[in-house]
Amino acid sequence: MLDKYWCLRRLHERRKDEVIVTCMSTAMPWAKLSDGPLDFASVDSAMGHAADFAYGLAIAQPDRRVIVLNGDGSMLMCLGTMVTMAQRPAPNFSMVICENGTYEVTGNQSVPGADKIDYAALALASGLMQATAVESENDFEQHLDALFAGKGPQVFIWKIAPTDEGAPRPSRPILERARSLRQALVGS
């Protein structure tokens, strides 16, 4: 099992000017590492919709890599998004499914089917061309280049241990963060 905080630190060390969209149990840990205009916490947003929101960003910004750190619970809420991604590929898009098997921020209740789901199989069955389970630090390092530069849409399933992150509370309201993101990307 991977340590989420280690993964985020490695991502931060490697990251340059990519858009990083987080949600739920990655939102606050990521914000401690980076909280600029290109970091968008999908919090006080719509549950289950971090990935499709990030996908819209990727389509609108084809010259910029967009990476979303989606939760497994969030992914389950909107599985059809993988089909949407497959039928309209965005080469600049990478999705990480942080699979810890729980709804961490509400107290680590198990997500439905936690011991049965195969997200990589779901992604490939949706028509996505690449989906990779990442279970160790060696795996992580081996696939880090692809996360940032591989031809998307790509899916990486990080098998991470649950922690005890509480409900995320971003430092700024979502409207302000949205406008800041657009300003950074579009200049208006």
Output the smallest distance, CB 100 to another protein, in A.
22
**Closest to 4 measured CA to CA, from 23, 34, 30:** 30
Q: Does 178 bind another protein (CB under 8 A)?
A: yes
Contact residue for another protein among 3, 14, 87, 151 (CB under 8 A): 87
Q: Establish if 95 lies at the interface with another protein (CB under 8 A).
A: no
- Give the CA distances from residue 72 to residues 38, 67, 96, 143, 160, in Å, rounded to whole numbers and listed in that order: 23, 15, 9, 19, 11
* Structural contact between residues 102 and 109, judged by C-beta atoms closer than 8 angstroms: yes
Site stretch for another protein (CB under 8 A), options 80-88, 106-114, 143-151, 164-172: 80-88
Choices 2-10, 25-33, 163-171, 178-186; region in contact with another protein by CB under 8 A? 178-186
Q: Cβ of 94: how many Cβ atoms within 10 Å?
A: 25
| One residue of 10, 12, 35, 45 binding another protein per CB under 8 A | 45
